[in-house]
Amino acid sequence: MVDKNACRRACRVSFAWLAVAALLICVIWGNSLVPGEGSGSLSRYVTELGQEALRALGLPHAWLTNFVVRKTAHFTEYLLLGVVTMRGWRPHLAGDADARRVRWGAAVPAALAAAAVAVTLVAVPSLDETIQLSVAGRSGQVTDVLLDCAGAATGVALTLAASWLCRRGGAPQR
């Protein structure tokens, strides 16, 4: 049974969190504009640092490859985007009294906020890989879009879990 009032519930959008999301999108797309040689040398540098740190700790290090570093970076940056996009649109706080405490924001229907989150978290990685098609030494990968979407979905899930835990424990949402 569908809750007819759920569609009418409003949530308070946070412009500050949406600004952070926009900044993160600019960083992501900026990284996509780096030619293949520069991008590759950065990830090789990070791989070497990671392997040295693991080696110094006496831990196995051969598993940390350039491929692992690059794919982990994809997943992580979109996990962060999922979190900040959810914090910006706040569909999980629809009708919550604490959600009205946002200083710089506006009320929007929860369904619109949820749709904005979904569209953002699919469109950004799709455009990201499309950008790479026109950059020397780079290529757009459908598998990277899927990995990015998995990272974003994880960020959304973590935000929902944190919100649920805070509500359950009585801690205020901000």
Whether the pLDDT of residue 94 is over 80: the answer is no
DSSP codes joined into one string, the chain? ---TTTTT-EEEEEHHHHHHHHHHHHHHHHHHTS-HHHHHHHHHHHHHHHHHHHHHTT---TT--HHHHHHHHHHHHHHHHHHHHHHHH-GGGTT-GGGGG-SSEEEEEHHHHHHHHHHHHHHHHHHHHHHHTTSTT----HHHHHHHHHHHHHHHHHHHHHHHHHHHHTPPP-
Range of the domain at 15: 10-168
pLDDT at 101: 58
pLDDT at 97: 55
pLDDT at 109: 80
Sign of the four-CA dihedral 91, 97, 103, 105? positive
Q: How many domains does the chain have?
A: 1
Whether the pLDDT of residue 19 is over 80: the answer is yes
The reply to whether 130 falls in a domain is yes
- In this prediction, residues 60-72 reach a mean pLDDT of 93
The reply to whether 42 falls in a domain is yes
The reply to whether 2 falls in a domain is no
pLDDT at 135: 93
Whether the pLDDT of residue 43 is over 60: the answer is yes
pLDDT at 158: 96
The reply to whether 21 falls in a domain is yes
Mean pLDDT of the chain: 86
N residues, the chain? 174
For residue 8, what pLDDT band results from cuts at 50, 70 and 90?
Answer: low
pLDDT tens digits for range 127-143: 999 999 999 999 889 99
Q: What is the pTM of this model?
A: 0.83
Neighbours of 136 (CB within 10 A): 9
Whether the pLDDT of residue 6 is over 50: the answer is no
Among candidates 10, 167, 20, 143, which has minimal Cα distance to 81? 20
For residue 23, what pLDDT band results from cuts at 50, 70 and 90?
Answer: very high
Give the C-alpha separation, 119 to 168, whole Å: 29
Whether the pLDDT of residue 100 is over 70: the answer is no
The reply to whether 1 falls in a domain is no
Whether the pLDDT of residue 126 is over 90: the answer is yes
More confident position, 13 or 19: 19
The reply to whether 5 falls in a domain is no
The reply to whether 63 falls in a domain is yes
Among candidates 108, 127, 166, which has minimal Cα distance to 32? 127
The reply to whether 60 falls in a domain is yes
Residues 92 and 159 sit within 8 Å (Cβ to Cβ) = yes
Question: Roughly what angle, to the nearest 10 degrees, separates helices 15-32 and 66-89?
Answer: 160
